[in-house]
Structure 1
Amino acid sequence: MTVRRRSLVATALCTFVWLAAAGTASAHGGSLAGGGRETLTIPTWLFLSTGGAAVGASFLLASFVTDRQFIERVHGWGVPLAAGGERPVVSLGRALGVAGLVAVLVTGFLGPTNARTNLAILLVWVGWWAGLAMTTYLLGNSWAVLNPWKTLAGLLPSLDRSYPDRLGAWPGVAGLLALVWLEVVSPLADDPRLLATVVVGYSVVTLSGAVVFGPGTWFGQVDPVERVFRYYGRFAPIGRDDDGFRLRLPGMDLSTPRLVDGADEVAFVVALLWVTTYDGLVTTPAWRDLTTPLVEAGLPPHLLYPLALLAGFALFLGVYRLAVRASRRTAETYLAPSVLAQRFAPPLLAIAAGYHFAHYLGYFLVLVPSLAVAVADPLGSPALVPVLDLPGWFGGVALAAVVVGHLVAIWVAHAAAYDLFPARLQAVRSQYPFIAVMVFYTMTSLWVVSRPEVPLPHL
């Protein structure tokens, strides 16, 4: 084993150990739902090994599919969808988006202070980040129309200043990490006034950027929320091309060349993958046990959380880059590492979507009755807040979602490899390091969604 390969293996093992020590996930606004997951009744090692083996076996099965024309037919399959009356639907969607923003601000500042009955809290965390985000990768990206800031920016004058090309999507990477850090260290899911204040601040920054650089540049390059929904929408079975809307197989659009274009966009994909895990790692007994001595030694909690966020992101990105270099060696190709990094990054979006679905489906179903009551009476504060009681078997749905997301990612990576490399064996060998990373992340994600939750420690 070469020194580089030993470094790759060591880094992956260190990552797994670090994640295992860090814990499991609590959803955005997770305190609203109350309770949490229960520990598995089967040995954890057996559960994780089974999930990892399933992903590894799926790669072996995919490797037998070597007919390039068949792969192209699978990814090119689509059924045109009838279009008509699109303009009224777009206008209605934009109006609904602006109305939702107004509702968040009004009820955030003037509504009840109880988070379980406040429309702003429920609309943002349950309706938007859980419900709408799930529809984005399950159906299609409606946020491109609903985005109220994009609608408002279109009504404002624009200076159309030149956006520095060297910045690319890096401000979006920083923005995504900052938003997740703010969600973790502040009571955004419990304090409607604070949530409304943050929305005002985000609105000022977003609209100012759109005025300076133009809406197309700002929402296409900088805005992290717009990019998250755009990437999730590429997983969905309903997409849009030059001929209009069409129905396709879920995840197949992730193999489109130059979907991820540049080191900055690769970093954004990895950041999205990382924050879906970090958002939960900080609420487990293991995280509490790991960090309590540090806090008792004098490390401020508000410094601990951003350090962990940045360190984890650097670790995830470093492991991915090591896999890229290892893939270049196993494939014996002259393609630049940047080319491989960009083509094999989109499959990670399928993993992120599967984890998001596993993380938020139960949360959404439990609280959607409360959201319906809040919509019916935005300024009211009922004494009884309805919630849905999920059956005991429901946890299996979350675990299945994690595995399905990884299986789709493997197939998309398989198709990308056959598009990149002329030789069949070369295409298969190029995937070895990425499959190893996917198996590692499958086991990590399964471990995350199977751990019990505890209140966020130290904050």
Structure 2
Amino acid sequence: MRMRSRSLAACVRTATLIAAFASSITAEGHAFAAPYTLPVPFWLYAYGSAVALLISFVFFALFSAVNTSSRFSENRSGSRRFRVRSWSLYRLIAWIAQVVTALILLFTIVCGLIGTPNALLNFNMTWFWMIFMLLSMYAACLIGDFYQMVNPWNAAIRLAGRTGLVSFKGILRYPRRLGYFPALLAYFGLIALELFGNASPEKLSVCLLAYSCLLFVGAWLFGRETWIRHADVFGVVFSLVSLLAPIEWVAADGSWRIKLRLPFSGFSTVESPSFSMTCFIVFMLSSTAFDGIHDTILWNTAYWAKLFPIIKPVIENYSNDLYGNAAKVYYLWQWLCLALSPTLYLAAYAAVLVAGKWLVRSQRALNELILDFSWSLVPIAFFYNVTHYFTVAISQSPQIVRLASDPFGKRWDIFGTASISIPPLILDAGFVWHAQVALILMGHILSVYLAHSQSFQSFGSRSRAILSQVPMVVLMVLFTASGLWILSLPMAAA
């Protein structure tokens, strides 16, 4: 995919204005009621967001009519104007950063194994879920893929290789068809641990140990660089998110160069993803949506009031513990729905591409189009993640200051910060909802632009490109409305 930076600059500014306008027209709301109500009627948000998306589509169409005279892949000179002189980071700094992150990973595992089982008092839970998983990923959207320089598993494997006891150059050729499916499988396990694992500090440490062993063994079989690139779920997530960043990290002769670029323009520097990467992106989107809905009253009712009466006779025939086994089936159903969640989004995504292909009578193969337009789903997946988790990240992450002095929960006070009282930051519910609406809308507007840009390369002429994107805009409206709807659902009692 190739996109012109000059077009992107103007479109990003316009998208920001549209998002701000859409959220401001619904600024006056009502107080929340238990357990959860919208500040204003849901339909008003849905209509406002739909109008904003349609306006953005019209703008992108008109703008491209004036400024797009050739395929995006043929002209990238605009992006060069925004590059600054690159500089290198010394190898020593990179080496120290890698050693530090590897030690932090080891310390995180030790904290879970010998520290308190109380998740709120153990360093490893807050560090891994809040700092590493959330805040670091959000930072990658701002400062680029710094993770590739400080990857703790990559550093640990490299250090182990330098001992000479084992070689991580690989003894087998990595199967090309395997692609990024190892990282996808690890991602599924990570989300399942978060949602269904009742993750304790000890369980988290055991999972991190198992994951580390998997990376070490894979690196020995297929080579360190190859296996880390395809199997490290965190590396794949960070690399995808970093395409939104205005900073690019480039490896060069053992050190690093940093380049400035337009925000969201990283997609212009990469080719169409593989099918395995497309599946990974779709799961990023579907797993976050599933996390938002799986603990709601609607979801629980769908099982206990609709599905349970159907399977009840079957359970009674095989067991006397009706409700105990029904609960087990419920959790199995949850796992199955999480595993199948990407198929729903992938089917809807493929359907709009089929419709667009039919509208312009394109001869392009559907599988090619699915890969070509995959990058347009990344902003939706990322902003969905921020929308769902930024409140818990803001409220829990400051606790790391206190936990640093007492990482094992043993009543220590190493740095004198253990006694600091850091009350959880409770954000105003109305602010949270408006922020969530703006984030979801921004993600979809950016996705509309990326899909619109790719359509010029896939379908050629301006008229064919615009016509092909009508179904995609409809899908974006549906995604936006469904995302807002999920956020509006009341949660089931714990």
- Normalised TM-score (structure 1): 0.84
TM-superposition CA deviations, 1:406-433 (whole Å, max 9, x none): 1111111122122333311011112122
Shift of residue 377, structure 1, vs aligned partner: 2.5
Residues 1:364 and 1:242: Cα distance change in structure 2 (over 3 Å): closer
The match for 1:49 is: 47
Given that residues 78 and 249 in structure 1 are in contact (C-alpha distance below 8 angstroms), is that contact kept between their aligned partners in structure 2? yes
Partner residue, 1:127 = 131
Q: Secondary structure at the match of 1:184?
A: helix
Instruction: Report the AA paired with residue 338 of structure 1.
Output: N
1:346 CA displacement: 0.3
SS in 2 for 1:240: strand
Partner of 2:321: none
The residue that corresponds to 1:98 in the other structure is 102
Alpha-carbon distance in structure 1 between the residues aligned to 2:349 and 2:171: 36
Percentage of pairs with the same residue: 25
The 5 Å alignment of 1:29-48 reads 38-48=36-46
1:231 Cα shift?
A: 0.8
What is the CA–CA distance in structure 1 between the aligned matches of 2:250 and 2:206, rounded to whole Å? Answer: 38
Flag structure 1 segments of 5+ consecutive residues without an equivalent.
1-35
Match of 2:323 in 1: none
Higher mean displacement: 162-171 or 423-432 = 162-171
CA contact (8 A) 1:251 1:412 kept: no
In structure 1, what is the Cα distance between the partners aligned to 2:347 and 2:79?
Answer: 30
Within 2, Cα distance between the matches of 1:373 and 1:141?
Answer: 28
Structure of higher RCO (CA pairs closer than 8 Å, 6+ residues apart): 1
Separation in 1 of the partners of 2:298 and 2:87?
52
Q: Structure 1 residues 171-180 or 148-157, which shifts more?
A: 171-180
After TM superposition, give the deviation of residue 385 of structure 1 in Å: 5.7
- Indicate conservation of the 8 Å contact 2:146/2:249, yes or no: no
Q: Which moved more, 1:134-143 or 1:390-399?
A: 390-399
Aligned partners of 2:69 and 2:250: how far apart in 1? 21
1:138, CA displacement in angstroms?
Answer: 2.5
- Residue in structure 2 matched with residue 282 of structure 1 by the alignment: 294
For this pair of structures, how many residues does the alignment match? 418
Letter in 2 for 1:68: T
Larger CA deviation: 387-396 vs 71-80: 71-80
What is aligned with 1:68? 68
**Partner-residue secondary structure (3-state), 1:183:** helix
Flag the structure with larger Rg: 2
2:452 to 394, 414, 436: 414
Deviations 1:172-202 (A, max 9, x none): 33332232123211111xx111111111111
**Counterpart code for 2:292:** G
Question: Would the aligned equivalents of 1:172 and 1:221 in 2 still touch at CA under 8 Å?
Answer: yes
Pair 1:110–1:164, CA change in 2 (3 A): same
Q: Contact (CA 8 Å) 1:104, 1:196: kept in 2 or not? A: yes
Cα offset, 1:353, TM superposition: 1.2
Q: Does 1:249 align with 2:249?
A: no
Q: Is the 8 A contact 2:297 2:489 kept in 1?
A: no
CA contact (8 A) 1:101 1:148 kept: yes
Q: Displacement of 1:37 after TM fit?
A: 8.4
8 A Cα contact 2:171 2:222, kept in partner = yes
Alpha-carbon separation, structure 1, partners of 2:85 and 2:379: 24
- Paired with 1:450 and 1:227, the residues of 2 have a C-alpha distance of 31
Aligned equivalent of 2:84: 80
> Deviations for 1:279-311, whole angstroms, at most 9, x for unmatched residues?
222111111211223457355123111111123
Q: What SS does structure 1 have at the residue aligned with 2:176?
A: coil
1:437 counterpart = 2:475:
yes
Please tell me whether residue 264 in structure 1 is matched to residue 268 in structure 2: no
Match of 1:332 in 2: 361
Shift of 1:101: 0.6
**RMSD across aligned positions (CA):** 2.4
Match of 2:248, SS state, is strand
Task: Give 1:150 deviation, angstroms.
Answer: 1.1
Aligned CA distance change for structure 1 residues 399 and 86 (closer, same or farther; 3 Å) = farther
SS in 1 for 2:178: coil
The range that moved more, 154-163 or 349-358, is 154-163
C-alpha separation in 2, matches of 1:75 and 1:356: 28
Residue identity opposite 2:98 in structure 1: R
Between 1:84-93 and 1:400-409, the stretch displaced more is 84-93
How does the TM-score come out when normalised to structure 2? 0.79
Amino acid aligned to 2:382: A
Measured in 1, the distance between the counterparts of 2:143 and 2:35 equals 27
Given residue 192 of structure 2, which amino acid in structure 1 is its aligned partner? Answer: W
